[in-house]
């Protein structure tokens, strides 16, 4: 079967750094995505990893270890507007993308 696990909720302080972990077990692997989703809105693309290592994009970085079936999203210099759900998703091959349940991040002042 296909399984993607990530924490349900996290809380962090404005200006801090937070790491959201994701582990996956899928029938195949053709890339891992992170999306941000604000309540009542569609997801927006944050990052894509297909090779091991760290991808940095501004305040957001994403890491992948294929051998461990593990990824994390790192958010630096947290802002209040970063309060949202963060979805880890895997393409197991072909056209489909399988989404995790999402991690709700609360940023407090």
Partner 1 sequence: GAVVSQHPSWVICKSGTSVKIECRSLDFQATTMFWYRQFPKQSLMLMATSNEGSKATYEQGVEKDKFLINHASLTLSTLTVTSAHPEDSSFYICSARDGQRTYEQYFGPGTRLTVT
Residue 31 lies near partner 1 (rule: CB under 8 A): yes
- Taking CB under 8 A as the criterion, the residue among 52, 65, 101, 108 binding partner 1 is 101
Task: Name the DSSP letter for residue 81.
Answer: G
User: Quick check: 95 and 82 in contact, CB under 8 A?
Assistant: no
> Could you tell me the sign of the dihedral formed by the alpha carbons of 100, 63, 69, 96, in that order?
positive
* Residues in 37-96 at the binding interface with partner 1, rule: CB under 8 A: 40-45, 48, 50, 87, 91, 95-96
Task: Name the DSSP letter for residue 67.
Answer: T
The residue among 19 and 44 lying less far from partner 1, judged by its C-beta, is 44
Where does this chain bind partner 1 (CB under 8 A)? 30-31, 40-45, 48, 50, 87, 91, 95-102, 104
């Amino acid at each position: 079967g296909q399984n993607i696990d990530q924490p349900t909720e996290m809380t962090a302080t404005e200006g801090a750094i937070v790491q959201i972990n994701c582990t996956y077990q899928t029938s195949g692997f053709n890339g891992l995505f992170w999306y941000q989703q604000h309540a009542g809105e569609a997801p927006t693309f944050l990052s894509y990893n297909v090779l091991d290592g760290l991808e940095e994009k501004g305040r957001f970085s994403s890491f992948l270890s294929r051998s461990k079936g593990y990824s994390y999203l790192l958010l630096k210099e947290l802002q209040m507007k970063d309060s949202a759900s963060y979805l880890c998703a895997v393409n197991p091959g072909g056209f489909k993308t399988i989404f995790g349940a999402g991690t709700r991040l609360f940023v407090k002042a």
